[in-house]
Amino acid sequence: MVTMTTKSILSALLLLPFVACSGGDVQPGPVPTRIESNGGSGQSGAPGSTLPVPLSALVTDAAGAPVADIEVTWSVLTGGGTVSATSSRSNTGGVATTQFTLGPGEGEQQAQAQAGQLQGSPVVFSATATTTPPPPPPPINLTVASGGNNVPERYTSDLWVHGSYAYTGTWGSFPRSSNEGDVLKVWLLSASGAPSLIDSVKTSGISTVSDVQVSEDGQLLMFTTEFEPSGGLYLYSLADPAHPVFLARALAAGGLHTATLAEINGGRYAFAARNPGFADPALLIYNVTDPSNMALVATVPVPPHYGIHDTFVRDGLVFVFAWNTGVIIYDVGNGISGGSPAAPVEVSRLVTAANGVAGGPSVHNGWWFHNPVTGEKRYLFIGQEGSGVIGSKSSGDIHVVDVSDLTNPHEVGFFHLTGAGTHNFWMDEERQILYAAYYNGGVVALDVSGTLAGDLSGRLLSRLQPGGTGNTYTWGVQLANGFLYASDMLSGLWQLKTE
C-alpha cells in the first residue's frame, strides 16, 4: 500500500499550477523537413586545390523557412579529396557549410551533405579537377555604332536601357549652358539599336537626376534626385514606356545620390544613398512593392567619411560603398546573418587600398561577379573615384576583392589606367568581361576570367573614347540588346559595338 504524508500531498498540489503553466508556455520549434544545395557545386580548380566557394546546404521546414542548429554531415564520394569539416550545424539562415579540397587526379569529383531522413538527403555536390584553366574571353574591339552629341544643353548622368527604350539623367552641380540637371530624358531605340530622343521629364526644385533604373518587369521607372528642396526618390509608371507617368516620391534632406531596385523574398525594395551635408549620411531602404504607397522601412547610419555613395544588391545581400569607410556588406534576406530589408545585419566590411590616389580609398561603386563558367561567386569589383575635372581629368582604380568568405573579404588585385579614373560598371558575366566607364578615359573592357591577382593592366581588352579627345567624360555603361550603351557627361548617349 502506498501512503503519502499531508506535507507531501500539499507539496504535490502546489507543483500542479507551476507544471501546468510551464507546459502552456513551451512553444514547439520549427521542424526540419528538407535539405538542398545552397551553393558551391559546379566549380573547377587544379587537382589538390581548395575550391574558393564553400559547399553550402540549406535546411528548411515544410513552409520553406530556414531551420537553425541542425547537424549536417559532410563526406567525399569520389576523387580522393577532403572536406574541412565532416560535421557542421546550420546557422540562423538554415545554412551549413564546409570547404572542399580536390583530390590529386583530374576529372569530376563529388562530395555530399547528409542530414538524417530529411527530404533531399544526401545532397551531392560536383566539381571538376583540371590543369586546364577556363578559356579567356575572345578578343573584342569597342567601336561606335550610333548616337552621341545628342544632349548639348546639359551634362548627362546615369542611364538605364530596357527593351526598346533608354532613360538618361542629367547632372547640374555646375550648370551647363545655365541649365540645371533637372531633366530625365526618354529615348526610343530603333530596330538597329540607335537612340532618338522622344520625351523628357522635368522635376522642379532639384539640380541633378543622379541615378536611373527600370524594374525587371519593365513596369516601374525609378530615379534619384539631389539637393533642396525636392531631392529624393521618384517612381514613375511605364505602362507607356515612351511617356512615364508620375506615381510617387519620397523626399530626403539633401537628396539621394543613388538607389538600387531589388526583389527580396517576394517584395520590391529601393536601397538608397542619402547625401551628407543636410542630414547624416545613411542607407535608406524603401518598400516599393506598392509604388503608390512606398514606405521607409530602415535607416542605416553610415560614418561621415563623406558617407555612402552607391549600393549593389544581389542574393539578399546589399554592398554599401561608403567612401573612406570602405565597403560594408549587409544581409537583407540572404540568411547568412539573419537580416531583412527592415532589419539589415552587417556581415563584414573592408577598406580598400588608396593606391596613392588623392582623397584616399574613395570607395564609390561595385559589382559582385557571379561567374557562370567556373560557378564561383568569388570576386567583388570596386570602383575608386578620386579627384577630377569634368572633361579633362579623373583618377581612381578598379580594386578586386575576394569575397569567397563573405565574413572575411580581402583585396587581391587592381587595375590602373594612367591619366583617368573609373566610374560605373557593367558586366558580361557569360563572357567574363568587365566594362567600366572611365570618365575622360572613355570605356574600358577588361578580361576578368580565371584567377585574379596583383596588377591587371595586362588584361585590358579594348578602350574607346566615344566622343574623341576633349569630348569624352563617360559616366556609365550598360549591356542591352547585343550592344553596349554609354552615357557621357559631355556627348550624351552612345550605342557601342563590342565585336
- Residues 36-62, mean pLDDT to the nearest whole number: 89
Sign of the C-alpha dihedral computed for residues 243, 246, 250 and 251 taken in this order:
positive
All structural domains of the chain with their residue ranges: 70-92+110-129, 143-159+254-497
Read off the pLDDT of residues 456-496 as tens digits, 9 standing for 90 and up: 999 999 999 999 999 999 999 999 999 999 999 999 999 99
* 96: pLDDT strictly greater than 50: yes
pTM for this one?
Answer: 0.81
Read off the pLDDT of residues 106-127 as tens digits, 9 standing for 90 and up: 999 999 999 999 999 999 999 9
Residue 10: the pLDDT is 36
Cα of 121 vs its chain's centroid, Å:
31
* 12: pLDDT strictly greater than 70: no
Which CATH number is 143-159+254-497's, of 1.10.260.40, 3.40.50.150, 2.130.10.10, 2.60.40.1180? 2.130.10.10
Residue 5: the pLDDT is 39
- Residues 189-209, mean pLDDT to the nearest whole number: 98
- Which band of pLDDT confidence, cut at 50, 70 and 90, is reported for residue 29? confident
Residue 18: the pLDDT is 35
Listed in sequence order, the residues at least 6 apart from 200 whose beta carbon sits closer than 8 Å to its beta carbon are 183, 184, 185, 186
Residue 6: the pLDDT is 37
Whole-number Å distance between alpha carbons of 372 and 369? 9
**Mean pLDDT estimate for the chain:** 92
Nearest to 111 by CA among 122, 119, 120: 122
Residue 25: the pLDDT is 53
Q: How many CB atoms lie within 10 A of CB 77?
A: 13
Residue 382: the pLDDT is 98
* 413: pLDDT strictly greater than 90: yes
Residue 138: the pLDDT is 87
Provide the b/e sequence for 382-394 (b: ≥16 CB within 10 Å): bbbbbebebbeeb
More confident residue, 92 or 326: 326
* 28: pLDDT strictly greater than 90: no
- Residues 276-298, mean pLDDT to the nearest whole number: 95
- Which band of pLDDT confidence, cut at 50, 70 and 90, is reported for residue 27? low
- Residues 93-103, mean pLDDT to the nearest whole number: 93
* 317: pLDDT strictly greater than 80: yes
Residue 373: the pLDDT is 84
- Residues 224-236, mean pLDDT to the nearest whole number: 97
Read off the pLDDT of residues 332-386 as tens digits, 9 standing for 90 and up: 999 999 999 999 999 999 999 999 999 999 999 999 999 988 878 999 999 999 9
Nearest to 44 by CA among 125, 123, 110, 128: 128
Whole-number Å distance between alpha carbons of 153 and 195? 17
- Which band of pLDDT confidence, cut at 50, 70 and 90, is reported for residue 23? very low
- Which band of pLDDT confidence, cut at 50, 70 and 90, is reported for residue 1? very low
- Which band of pLDDT confidence, cut at 50, 70 and 90, is reported for residue 135? confident
Task: Write out the DSSP string of 20-52.
Answer: HHHHHH--PPPPP-EEEEEE-TTEEE-TTPBPS
* 21: pLDDT strictly greater than 70: no
Q: And the C-alpha cell for 102?
A: 580536390
Cα of 182 vs its chain's centroid, Å:
27
Q: And the C-alpha cell for 110?
A: 563529388
